[in-house]
Structure 1
């Protein structure tokens, strides 16, 4: 599953997301250039993942 954001801008953003969310949601690939997160989530985890991502200050790109 690919989740797009508007403000993953640097390696520090990547490190913050991984440190905060990987333990609960699993390994993810984060691409700073496309501002996207590639992660294998179950359907019931998606809303909680998005909420926690937003709590960290990352705005979702739902377009």
Structure 2
């Protein structure tokens, strides 16, 4: 199921490319919307465990996921 997360600290295309380059091998295609505030990251999440892992890896990259 496609899921969209709001995230802090994503400021530019370099941030978006860092997220994609670091996480697409593990999570598949990732879309980063730089036209919203806070920024939105959309990807296919299949399990709750995968969602937890995604949030943890985003945090490690310096991008905090904002819980909705």
- The normalised TM-score by structure 1 is 0.91
**Structure holding more strand per residue:** 2
Q: CA deviation at 1:20?
A: 0.2
- 1:3 and 2:5 are equivalent in the alignment: yes
Give the aligned length.
63
Aligned-pair Cα RMSD in Å: 1.0
Structure 2, unpaired ranges of 5+: none
Could you tell me which of 37, 41, 58 is aligned with 1:53? 58
Structure 1 segments of 4+ aligned residues over 4 angstroms from their partners: none
Give me the whole-angstrom Cα distance separating, in 2, the residues matched to 1:60 and 1:28: 15
Give me the whole-angstrom Cα distance separating, in 2, the residues matched to 1:7 and 1:33: 14
